[in-house]
Structure 1
Amino acid sequence: MSKVMSSESWQADKRHWMHPWTHFDSFKDEGSLMLTRAKGARLWDEQGTSYFDAVGGLWCTNIGLGREEMAETIAEQVREMAYANPFVDMSNVPAAQLAKKLAELAPGDVNRVFYSCGGSTAIDTAFRLVHFYQNCRGKPAKKHILARKGGYHGSTYAAMSITGKSGDKIPEFDYIQDTIHHLSCPNPYRAPAGMDEQQFCDFLVDEFKQKVAELGADKIGAFFAEPILGSGGVIVPPEGYNCRIWELCQENDILFVADEVVTAFGRVGHWFASEDLFGVQPDIITCAKGLTSGYLPLGATLFSDRIYDVIATGDADRYFASGYTYSGHPVACAAALKNIEIIERENLLSRVVEVGAYFEQRLQTLRDLPLVGDVRGKRFMMCVENVADRNTKQLLPDELNIGKWISDRAEQNGLIVRPIVHLNVMSPPLTMSRKDVDFVVDKLGAAIEHTYHDLQKEGLIAAPRKLTA
């Protein structure tokens, strides 16, 4: 964030808290934007300045912040039972009720739930579950994982190893490399020259087939994929891609793991995007974020009865030796149940479909701005990609961090959007109105124009060429 403050809290933060994804040089100079309260989609800093949070926290504040009934539900559960041991044969009512509800909402025979603390641990659990399942089947060689470049799956060791975002795979960390393989990013905007969307889809499917042939289907345990890639650039794959890859997974006995940490619970207008948007029946679904709308940390790995039937039979002494102290935390599960109730009661899924169409339409108007190369996404999951040349799609230098330039200027005008190098990403609360959409698009457009003029003044960018057909 760009605003520099000097309160005691700001100083304490700067001195003691190493944030996720801390960029050391800029943090040392600027510190953080110190927020103090929130209501709905509005945030306030220590100076009383108000911002519209078009990022939705981190893809997660789906019902908006500051809801009294969420606070009451959480407080009531704390009074009733703040914690319960989740291991082996101990349980609690909110966790059991939430598991039943998730099974009702999930597609097909995805009826089993394993709780964790967030999206990364949900992915870690899926990764371990794949290994466990293949071992129980007597297929110990079937452990290789396929994923995509540009995909983001979390920051634990396994989750970041599965992640395919090059910017997050920094050299100071180590990763699993021998059994995890990354295929091409399914980004139509960056398709090879001369390929239309259908040809690009065919190319990606052929690449998948070739990788299976190269490794051997008997060596591949699972394919991990976000239905719509999130932090990798809000990438909606070519039409038919998700379903065709899923069919190949079925043909080759490869588990399909749908990472719906971002897309589930209304982000694109459905409880889960895999089946409703793309016709895919996953074997495993990971979720978090919108599960509680960020009110409390909670992740879940949902998986099919088919998998459970394999792992739960056979060796009488078998047990799943994995879990967390806070698995199925009763307060977090109570918050999730109330969150789901609110989404249902207020028809927020339908709202996202309606207002999301308007959001897409209004954001497309930014294509006329000189820095804007692409506007993409689905409903309440959108992205603007900024480029140096719209004809060649050439990017600006990474070190310029154009997304941050733009987000800083948007912040000065009361709007928070997420910068990811060349991108500005938006995932607002599902309560966003058409009036809010207009505010977001107008302020973002003004920030892009402001940035463009600043770059020209500093001689960092040339005058744009007219976009050719």
Structure 2
Amino acid sequence: MLASKVGVNSSLDQMSDLHLIDMQTQLHPFTDARVHAEQGALIIERGDGIYVIDSDGKRYIEGMSGLWSVAVGFNNKRLVEAATKQLDKLPYYHQFINKTLSPCIQLSEKLLQIAPIPMSKVFLANSGSEANDTAVKLVWYFNNSKGQAQKKKIISRKNGYHGITVAAASLTGLPTTHKAFDLPLPGFLHVNGPLVYRDMRVGESDESYADRLADELEQVILREGPETIAAFFGEPVMAAGGVHIPPATYWQKIQDICRKYDILIVADEVITGFGRTGSMFGCETYGIKPDILVLSKQITSSYQPLSAVLINQRVYEGIADQSSVIGTFAHGFTGGGHPVAAAVALENIAIIEEEGLVERADKMGQLLQKALRGFESHELVGNVRGVGLIGAVELVADKGTKAPFGEPGTLGRYLVARAQENGLVLRAIGDSIAFCPPLIISETEIDQLISRFARALDQTAAWYRGKK
């Protein structure tokens, strides 16, 4: 029906029809709706290892693992079989009111076994946003159980990303997630994150920079009143905000401040969990000891929507006491702890362990980081940064001043478009080009990724020289 309305053949089997129908029917996330209505979208039809294939049959190296999330590649048969087996046995049930499911029990046990520090209980949801919303509510619930009714404000970081639901978007420190949405909500505060390339002062060491950021956090706590600050949320590596790597001792100093004022620490490992940094968790890479741990994305390689919130014994005791007073812990989701998602997660974690993908991420990550740093001398490259199999190349028009070319993001958008033409999917975060390939990537495939990026970078440089 829609196809005929836009004056094309009504057969939905024709991809030209699908493009037009998409333009007529869908509101896409993180997309300029007016541009999309004119240009349409790239339709991805199939997956093959680290590759995705579009509706015309063109293959692309997926340099972003989808949305930072596909550890084991895009056609892992074991995950398909795990989902199919569970669908055949029990396609859906819930965990409300003292009911549960075998895959959820087994997954919770496994997560507690591999957690970077001792944790007590697991709450299962569907997405990182839901998990971070849950974490906020748990923090509030916990402090109410302690009679600390004023201890409710949450501190996170500028350029941090924690999701897009109302509370999670309030945690997120990116202006575009706030503008016109009337966010952030009251009680959500933001301090500077560790943007080493942009914010470190001339002559400032990693240590003194970390001291400055920790001091800023403490000053905000003192200004607001420690009795009002409930929790600090942070990603081990700030990913969607530009792949920003914390300086040495940063996390230790931040944790010391939080412990000093009895502020809960929430580690958002939605992106860094399950091997991305070369350790099973980013908390291990950076010595973070959270009270609450948030997981998603690579937990199932995104074959199924799933997230998990792990809490330590102290937080659990407060929540359990409060639920007993009220008579219930009145929080949950219809699809939270879905049996198919839990079964896929168990198999995905088994693959990561059996195939040594954490160790592989460390080894392949060293190759990727070395290759990316080979672009540091390029005329458009201001900075290269990363850890494990996550990295970024920041483009500038002037290396000395770090100034962008034209409106910020201009070079980034142009390069990503050229990369796509060359069969490589990347993501521009402003003028920072993010890399986050699947953990299964091989040395040969890293070489291919780098070669395609090099062509796109040179094409961007030629275009830039013509525009100067």
- 8 Å CA contact retained: 2:24, 2:37: no
User: Which whole-Å deviations, capped at 9, do the CAs of 1:190-245 have from their partners, x for residues lacking one?
Assistant: 12432232221111111111111111111100000001001001001111101111
Distance 1:218 1:400 in 2: 41
Distance 1:62 1:376 in 2: 21
Q: Which moved more, 1:360-369 or 1:316-325?
A: 316-325
Aligned residues with identical type, % of pairs: 35
Q: Secondary structure at the match of 1:373?
A: strand
The letter for the 2-side match of 1:431 is I
Given candidates 101, 115, 130, the residue that maps to 1:121 is 130
Q: Secondary structure at the match of 2:120?
A: strand
Q: Secondary structure at the match of 2:231?
A: strand
Change (3 A) 1:369 1:168: farther
Offset of residue 358 of structure 1: 0.8
Q: Which moved more, 1:229-238 or 1:176-185?
A: 176-185
- 8 Å CA contact retained: 1:63, 1:293: yes
The letter for the 2-side match of 1:309 is E
Distance 1:111 1:10 in 2: 48
Change (3 A) 1:193 1:66: same
The letter for the 2-side match of 1:282 is P
Offset of residue 112 of structure 1: 1.0
Counterpart check, 1:182 vs 2:167: no
Aligned ranges 1:28-107 → 2 under 5 Å: 28-107=37-116
Residue aligning to 1:302? 310
Q: Secondary structure at the match of 2:173?
A: coil
Counterpart check, 1:144 vs 2:153: yes
Distance 1:445 1:239 in 2: 30
Distance 2:302 2:406 in 1: 34
Structure 1 vs Structure 2 CA RMSD:
1.4
TM-score by length of 1: 0.94
Given candidates 263, 266, 288, the residue that maps to 1:257 is 266
The letter for the 2-side match of 1:428 is P
**Structure 2: which 5+ residue stretches go unaligned?**
1-13
Given candidates 263, 277, 281, the residue that maps to 2:289 is 281
- 8 Å CA contact retained: 1:146, 1:220: yes
- 8 Å CA contact retained: 1:398, 1:422: no
Counterpart check, 1:27 vs 2:32: no
Counterpart check, 1:367 vs 2:371: no
Residue aligning to 2:242? 233
The letter for the 2-side match of 1:204 is L
Distance 1:306 1:223 in 2: 16
Offset of residue 177 of structure 1: 4.0
Given candidates 205, 214, 220, the residue that maps to 2:214 is 205
Distance 1:453 1:169 in 2: 36
Offset of residue 316 of structure 1: 4.0
The letter for the 2-side match of 1:380 is L
Q: Which moved more, 1:359-368 or 1:161-170?
A: 161-170
Offset of residue 313 of structure 1: 2.3
Distance 1:311 1:318 in 2: 12
User: Which whole-Å deviations, capped at 9, do the CAs of 1:353-391 have from their partners, x for residues lacking one?
Assistant: 111111100100111111111111111111111111111
Distance 1:18 1:93 in 2: 37
- 8 Å CA contact retained: 1:396, 1:422: no
Given candidates 338, 346, 350, the residue that maps to 1:329 is 338
Distance 1:234 1:128 in 2: 27
Paired residues in the alignment total 453
Residue aligning to 1:292? 300
- Ranges of 4+ aligned residues in structure 1 off by more than 4 Å: none
- 8 Å CA contact retained: 1:236, 1:377: yes
Offset of residue 401 of structure 1: 2.7
Distance 1:150 1:46 in 2: 35
User: Which whole-Å deviations, capped at 9, do the CAs of 1:136-181 have from their partners, x for residues lacking one?
Assistant: 11101000111111101100000111111123322x2111343111
Offset of residue 399 of structure 1: 5.9
Residue aligning to 2:6? none
Distance 1:196 1:31 in 2: 47
**Structure 1: which 5+ residue stretches go unaligned?**
462-469
Q: Secondary structure at the match of 1:453?
A: helix
Residue aligning to 1:191? 199
Change (3 A) 1:182 1:333: same
Counterpart check, 1:135 vs 2:126: no
User: Which whole-Å deviations, capped at 9, do the CAs of 1:405-457 have from their partners, x for residues lacking one?
Assistant: 10111111111111222121111100011111111112112211101111222
TM-score by length of 2: 0.94
Q: Secondary structure at the match of 1:155?
A: coil
The letter for the 1-side match of 2:68 is W
